[in-house]
Amino acid sequence: MFMYKLEIKLSETNACLIVLADSDEAAFGYVEGHLVRHYIKKPEVLETVIVEKKRVEKGSGYVVETGEF
């Protein structure tokens, strides 16, 4: 199992998704479901890319930079 950091370019904004999956294909397959649950209206996805991929083990994680809090 792997932990993926995906960057998603949407029509009006950008998003970052951290997801656990067995393969690259499975990671991409989870994107739509997470977007539907997160947004009231499903946004148009322009592009999705895998930024990082790590084997899952104790202590695995990512730092997600933001411009604001």
Q: What is the pLDDT of residues 15-64, one digit of tens each?
A: 999 999 999 999 999 999 999 999 999 899 999 999 999 999 999 888 87
CA distance 46 to 28: 13
Name the residue ranges covered by the structural domains of the chain.
Answer: 2-52
Which own/partner pairs from 41-44 qualify as long-range (CB within 8 Å, at least 24 positions apart)?
Answer: 43/10, 43/11, 43/12, 43/13, 44/10, 44/11
Whole-model pTM: value is: 0.84
CA distance 69 to 53: 26
